[in-house]
Structure formats: structure tokens, C-alpha cells
Structure 1
Amino acid sequence: MILANIPITIDRDDARRAAAEELSKPEYRAAEPSWFQRALSWLAQRVSDLFAAVSGVVPGGPLGLLVLLAVVVLVIVVVRLRVGKVARTVRGRRAVFEDTTRAAEDYRRAAEDAFAAGDVATAVRERFRGLVRGLEERGVLDARSGRTADEAAREAGAQLPESRDELAFAASLFDAVHYGGRPATAEDYRRLVALDGRTQRERPGVLA
């Protein structure tokens, strides 16, 4: 066979490490909350066990491992495609507000209280909601239920071009922290506070 003449350098440890490193990449961890991370850890362990069990019994030794590695890579590609589609679909249905009665200042006070208590994730979530509600109160955005963070950023950015990029960042941050379980930092929160103040001062449709 032609394949028999091709030098094979991959061994069991290399294959196991490659699979584990691929499955631990950030896009997998950020795709869904902790249950998904646990599922990926379980899959990585099963792949490791598979390589350990098969390395001594598959005909061809290294060649068999190479075939198995190709299968693992194929599975990873499929998972990536599916996760990307599902994640985008789910994000598209995630609304900013759960309570339509609170004012912008209510959200801002809740954010400050949470930040002072060390709950930065809640502070980020509430500050973004305060920012969006503030834009609704100013008439920059129409008051509409069911609006997602991306929609709010896109619509507000069209009216406030100087803040467009920061609004897109804020929407991504809100989704990642509130829905994706991403840890929030004090810098994230301070950046939202600065943006909130800026959007309250910026005049709609006016470039500097």
C-alpha cells in the first residue's frame, strides 16, 4: 500500500494532547454555560481513553491512530458548525429586559450596588440595561419589548455614530456575561459606565 510508505510520526500521547487542546479552546467554553463545558471535558476524556485502548489493538498501530485522529477532527468540525448555528440562533432570541417597568436610574442604582458588593456580572448586566432604558427615555430608541442587545446596539449606533463601536462592544459584553457565563471585570463595568454617560450626552445623528 502507498500509505505504508508514508512515515507516521504521531503517537498516542500526541493525538491525545491534540484532541484535548482543540476541545479546550475558548470558542467551545464561551458557546454555552457550564453544562456544555462539562460535556466537552467528558468528550475529551473519552477521546483520551479511546486512544489509550486502541493504540495496542488496531492493526497498523500508528496508521490506525492516524485514522482515528481524522475521525476526531471530523467530529470537531461538525460540533463547531452546529455550536455556531445554535449559539447564533439562541442569542438572537435573548431580550435585554425582563422587567419593562423600571427606569434607567433604577437599573443604574442596582448596578452600583452590585458593583460595590463585588458582584461585577450583575453590575454589568444592570448597567447595560440602564444604558438602553436611558436611550429609550431620551427618545433615541423607541420603547419596545423583546429587543435584543445586538438590536439595541445597532439601532442606537445608527443614531449615535460616535458611540457605535462601544455600543457594539457593550452588547457583546452583555450577552457574553449574562447568557454565556463569561466572567466580568471591573474594567468591563467602568467601560460601560463611561459609555452610559457618553450616550446620554451625545446628540443623535451628529458627528464630531
Structure 2
Amino acid sequence: MTLAAAALLLAGPDAGREEARREAARELLKPVYQHESVLDRMWRTFTQFLGDLLDAGGGTAGGVLSLVLIVVVLVALAALLLWALRRMSRDRGAGAGGVFERGELTAAEHRAAAGRLAAEGDWSSAIRERLRAVARDLEERAIVTPLPGRTAMELADVAGRALPAHAADLRAAARVFDDVTYGEVPGTREAYETMAGLDERLRAARVSLDAGT
């Protein structure tokens, strides 16, 4: 039962709408409402809103209008909940997603896949494959130790210590990878060409003898 309906019962059968609202206000002053949780308060407010809509639809036309409004509100809430769940899932993926998502491929195979995707204009996928080529090449050359589940930014940190001259570019490439993979940012030709250029420079790079482990 909504607060408006409860107030009408408390005020008696002959009470007007104003008296019902006063009864509802007095009801809200009770201690049980002062200590309710935020979720309980939101649910109570929502159910009261629906109850008020139903009360307002006295006639047939009013009842249909109230029903339509209720359906619209429920659809909007469902869409908001779906958006929030997708956002949470994307945020979790951005924090924990590894660079590699499938079986073992060589750096050359990742480069070939990146080239095919770039030729098709699929820049986001091409960027992902090119960074995987970078990661696998660094592992094949023993510049970084293979680590399942390593993220792009973790790769950039480890490789940047071994190749300090390229540390800033590695972090920039990791951010681009995360953006197109988890942030729904569309890939571009320019971003892919930048990633490919970094890959070529890293292939010719030598490990710094002063780098830490």
C-alpha cells in the first residue's frame, strides 16, 4: 500500500486530498522513516509515484494514460539499469583485461593479421593485433618475460624499464589499445600507423644495460 492510500485510510472515508497529504506528511515524520536506507527511500518514493498515477486515472481515459506513463517509466528504468550494468562490465574489463585473448601466435602472425585487418579498414582490430605483435616480439626477444593476463599498461611499464627511450610511446600505445578495446573509442588509420611505427622502432631497439629487472 502506498503512503497516499494509507493516509486516506487513516484520515477516514470523508477526508479530502489535502487531509490525506497532511496524514502522509505526519506518517513520514515517524522514526522508522528517518532511519531507512537510501534504497528503501528510493523504492518507497517510486511506489508512491506509481500509486499517485493510478489514483489520478479515475476515468477510463485517465486510467489508460496512467498505465502508459507507468510503462514508460519502467522502460526508462530498465534502460538505465542495462546501461549501468554494461558500464560496470566495461570498467571491470578495462581494469583486468589481458593483451592476448586467444591461443599462442607469433609476432609475425599478429603482424600479418593486423595488416589484413588494416586493409579491410577495421582499424580497431588492426590496432589490437599490432600491439599484440609488439608484446609477442618483446617476449620472443626475451626483453619481457611472458606473463598470462598481463594488461597493455603493465606491458608498457615493464617494457619501458627495459627500453626507456620508448617508455612514453609504449604507454601512449597502451592507452590507445585500452581505448579501442574497452572504451568503445573507434580506431583510426592514424592511430594504427602510429602503432605500426612504434612496432618497427622497437624491433630495432636494444635493451638498456642500466634497466632494472
| TM-score normalised to structure 1 length | 0.56
Check the 8 A contact 1:100/1:145 in 2, yes or no.
no
Check the 8 A contact 1:160/1:206 in 2, yes or no.
no
- For residue 168 of structure 2, what is the aligned residue in structure 1? 165
- For residue 201 of structure 1, what is the aligned residue in structure 2? 204
- For residue 33 of structure 2, what is the aligned residue in structure 1? none
- For residue 190 of structure 1, what is the aligned residue in structure 2? 193
Matches of 1:170 and 1:152 in 2, distance apart?
10
Deviation at 1:96, TM superposition (A): 0.5
Matches of 2:169 and 2:146 in 1, distance apart?
21
Matches of 2:93 and 2:153 in 1, distance apart?
12
Aligned-pair identity (%) = 38
Check the 8 A contact 2:90/2:183 in 1, yes or no.
no
Alignment of 1:15-26 (within 5 A): none
Amino acid at match of 1:91: A
Q: Secondary structure at the match of 2:100?
A: coil
Check the 8 A contact 1:96/1:129 in 2, yes or no.
yes
Q: Secondary structure at the match of 1:118?
A: coil
Deviation at 1:143, TM superposition (A): 1.2
Amino acid at match of 1:197: E
- For residue 70 of structure 1, what is the aligned residue in structure 2? none
- Larger relative contact order (C-alpha < 8 A, sep ≥ 6)? 1
Amino acid at match of 2:168: D
- For residue 118 of structure 2, what is the aligned residue in structure 1? 115
Unaligned runs of 5+ in 1: 1-83
Aligned residues, how many? 125
1:75-96 alpha-carbon deviations (Å, 9 max, x no partner): xxxxxxxxx9987654221100
Check the 8 A contact 1:104/1:131 in 2, yes or no.
yes
| TM-score normalised to structure 2 length | 0.55
Larger Rg: 2
- For residue 127 of structure 2, what is the aligned residue in structure 1? 124
